[in-house]
Amino acid sequence: VLLGYIQLNLMLLDDKKWRPVFRNGTVNSWFSSAFSQLRGEDDNGHPDWLSETIQGAFEQLPEDGVDLNRTPFTMRPLDVTVAGILREHAKELFRVMYRSPALEEEKIAENIARGFDVWFSEVSDMVK
């Protein structure tokens, strides 16, 4: 939930900068898997009641010429409608985090480090 929340806010902050990063991921990359989880597509994905709010921000790529190593969905261009969908979904993710048990600082840092490929020792030094 935390990584999806961060990813959505990065897209809202600067779509031109972050869209190429998120789009270039293979199916197994964190960036693609985070969007798949937000859409509730895999076993670790969000439940239907949570993933429904973000579905409208994505469109399925045409089947012809689709690279099977890449996700078959892409985010629609960031217009007012899509930005509103992302904001609403980010709000829902925040509500889930707010109601969830608190994690230790080091666990939060570890999750972010893994998600953004930051060396754990660097993050670990920041929270001690």
Neighbours of 121 (CB within 10 A): 8
**C-alpha to C-alpha distances, 50 to 15, 31, 54, 74, nearest whole angstrom:** 23, 19, 8, 19
Per the structure block, which two tokens stand in for 6? 């961060």
Element (H or E) spanning 75, and its range? strand 73-75
- The pTM is what? 0.73
pLDDT of 12 higher than 90: yes
CA atoms within 13 A on the CB side of 2: 17
- Section 28-54 average pLDDT: 70
pLDDT of 128 higher than 70: no
